Amino acid sequence: MPDRAPQPVDRLLPTDEARDLLTLVRDIAQREVAPRAAEEEEAGRFPRELFTLLSESGLLGLPYDSEYGGGDQPYEVYLQVLEELARARLTVALGVSVHTLATYPLAAFGTKEQHAEHLPAMLGGGLLGGYCLSEPSSGSDAASLRTRAVRDGDDWVIHGTKAWITHGGVADFYTVMARTGGEGARGISAFLVPGDAAGISAAAPEKKMGMKGSPTAQVHFDGVRVSDARRIGEEGQGFAIALSALDGGRLGIAACAIGVAQAALDEAVGYATERRQFGRPIADFQGLRFMLADMATQIEAGRALYLAAARLRDAGRPFGRQAAMAKLHCTDTAMRVTTDAVQILGGYGYTADFPAERYMREAKVLQIVEGTNQIQRMVIARHLAGPETR
């Protein structure tokens, strides 16, 4: 089958600047990201130079203050950038989302002095971040984390292991949640830790089903010393900071999911209109036409849901419930749509000669990261019916 350039998504953007930005992102995605995706994912190669290009293009700090090198873009626009990048390669889009997540605690809860010292390099200086919350024994139950930071004069000394860290071993900085007090959520604080600090090491990357180009690894903190000036927020505020960050991060995952689903739909439509059986394109058969229609409808519904949540965030209104809904719906949609794309391609869909099988493998992880979809249902239910009785 010949290569097919994806058709632009019909988007309602708030400004001419946003329209120009999406045009730039589509150009970078089609020219620099997509052509290398299949080969590099198969080889498990992390495309660090693409993140350097994105930083130089102003795309690693879009939702943050231009005073420190950010793009001053609303989340409504930033998420659509993620979607376009994910449509080309999920490793890149998810990397941008994780970097934005790792930057958020300092940007939202840091002091002016911390902003001036750290944000310019984080937003536009080519740095890449990692977000360290999960641990081998605390995934969904994040408040039970065991990594500990002990005060030593003007410093903190961190011991522990974080797990499932995107960019583990390659990040330039880590935002680390560590226990500074007693048990439970109120004993956790947040720290900005340089990636090259003495005592940090990373395990070998996990051998994953998909996203092989994105390193996911345990990160070990063995007596890592950081100054109190790198503590973010108040002592004991770390878990609240982490949850606040994850609300925005879940919208990033939702947008990535719709990007992957859109790529799968593009592939399915292109194949179905070109592949001929019984003397005509298989897209003429009602069974396939209905599948394509359902896939497109699910994608549009997911896009509308994540954008509605983003607009609430941009307006300064609560959006946690809608973020959980968007993450849940969009990632489930990506799983359904990519599976259907493999089915439409038939035997070819099951081969690595076509990208449909890669999209299906990549979609699965989006139902797991930044809160499993079962956790999202718990969050939504708590908003509706209150916390569970014990």
Active-site residue set? 370
Q: Classify residue 183 by its DSSP letter.
A: S
Q: Give the span between the Cα atoms of 311 and 387, in whole angstroms.
A: 26
Q: Report the chain's C-alpha Rg in angstroms.
A: 21
Q: Which spans in the chain are helix H?
A: 16-28, 34-43, 48-56, 75-88, 90-109, 112-124, 238-274, 286-314, 320-345, 356-366, 373-385
Residues 160, 221 contacting (CB under 8 angstroms): yes
Q: Give the span between the Cα atoms of 300 and 75, in whole angstroms.
A: 18
The CA angle 30-36-39, to the nearest 5 degrees, is 145
302, amino acid identity? G
| b/e per residue 79-93 (b: at least 16 CB within 10 A) | bbbbbbbbbbbbbbb
3-class secondary-structure state, position 71: coil
Q: Give the span between the Cα atoms of 64 and 55, in whole angstroms.
A: 13
Residues 214, 164 contacting (CB under 8 angstroms): no
Residue 288, both tokens: 């396939």
Q: Compute how many other C-beta atoms are within 10 angstroms of the C-beta atom of residue 252.
A: 30
Q: Give the span between the Cα atoms of 369 and 242, in whole angstroms.
A: 14
Q: Give the span between the Cα atoms of 119 and 124, in whole angstroms.
A: 8
